[in-house]
Amino acid sequence: MIAKQPFGRTGHVSSRVLFGAAALWDLPQADADKTIELALASGINHFDVAASYGNAEDYLGDWIRRHERPSFLATKTEERTSAKANDSIKRSLERLHVDHVDMIQLHNLIDLGEWQTALGPGGALEAALRAREEGLVRFIGVTGHGLTAAAQHTKALERFDFDSVLLPYSYLMWLNEQYRSDFLNLLAICKKRNVAVQTIKSLVHTPWGEREHTRNTWYRPLEAQADIDLAVHWVLGNEGLFLNSAGDINILPLVLDAASRFSSKPTDAVMQAMVDRLEMQNLFAE
């Protein structure tokens, strides 16, 4: 089974691998059901979805309607104004067939203009706070993509006391000196304030580029079990971090298998050997 640890200061003890429900984007409901049940059988108790993940909220919601909600359920809104974010949150609750979610996250809040709008007067943060007051959400997080995510989250935490952050993290990201510095600075702040840190993009092999997209991921993923083991174990080898599973239902079993066997963090030399052997490339341009 996959190990668990406290999810920041929320009081919930979450599996160290969180189910990234982007994997449910556009599936037959039967396939979505099998994927959800596989995650639960592996010990996953924390599900992370978003309003913008295709039909994922509908598929997950249909399963919840017929069974029960996961013990921790998080979703996201990409809306930047209070009115639109309020509508988005309520629509997510309807799609998920629940009267509240454990966490709402301001999704991909990186662009400076959008960041200022969302965290300013009349912004999405106001809607999240109102939803929390009304009992529609319990906690509030922020997510981001790209090489500026760690630095931007640090600024966000100066503006508001978010309960969690979500951002890219992998050995490939670690090789970028500026990102490494920004990430370590953010991690120190999160540890001090007991803010949960979720990581994404752990299985990046290369950008798709001109290649045919053979997986439902935003990047060409690692596919061999041994390589996935190294990538997953490297992230889990960082105390306190959570790993959000990749957005492809056929990759998910390999990630769950790797996580269930985690014992120690691979050395940087081992990771670098994999990078060289597979000619791995960062997803984000430097």
For residue 45, tell me if it sits in a domain.
yes
Looking from the CA of 225 toward its CB, the CA atoms found within 13 Å total: 9
Say which amino acid occupies 99.
D
Provide the mean pLDDT of the chain: 96
How far is CA 23 from each of CA 26, 39, 59, 104, 159, rounded to the nearest angstrom?
A: 8, 12, 11, 19, 32
For residue 195, tell me if it sits in a domain.
yes
pLDDT, position 216: 85
Range of the domain at 88: 4-278
DSSP track, 222-257: P-SHHHHHHHHHHHHTSTTEEEEPPS-TTTHHHHHH
Range list of β-strands (E), the chain: 4-6, 13-15, 17-20, 46-48, 72-77, 101-106, 137-143, 164-168, 196-200, 204-206, 220-221, 241-244
Could you give the number of structural domains in the chain?
A: 1
Task: Give dist(CA 274, CA 129) in Å, integer.
Answer: 44
For residue 286, tell me if it sits in a domain.
no
CB proximity list for 112: less than 8 A, separation 6 or greater: none
Q: Minimal CA–CA distance to 32: which of 4, 53, 51, 1?
A: 53
pLDDT, position 203: 97
For residue 283, tell me if it sits in a domain.
no
Bridge partners (DSSP) of residue 167 are 199
Predicted structure pTM score: 0.96
Strands 241-244 and 17-20: parallel
For residue 284, tell me if it sits in a domain.
no
pLDDT-derived band at 286, boundaries 50, 70, 90: low
pLDDT, position 229: 98
For residue 67, tell me if it sits in a domain.
yes
For residue 117, tell me if it sits in a domain.
yes
State yes or no: pLDDT of 48 exceeds 80.
Answer: yes
Which pLDDT tens digit goes with each residue over 220-257?
999 999 999 999 999 999 999 999 999 899 999 999 99
Domain of 150, CATH number, reads 3.20.20.100
Which pLDDT tens digit goes with each residue over 129-180?
999 999 999 999 999 999 999 999 999 999 999 999 999 999 999 999 999 9
For residue 285, tell me if it sits in a domain.
no
Task: Give dist(CA 69, CA 281) in Å, integer.
Answer: 38
CB proximity list for 105: less than 8 A, separation 6 or greater: 50, 74, 75, 76, 77, 140, 141, 142, 143, 164, 166
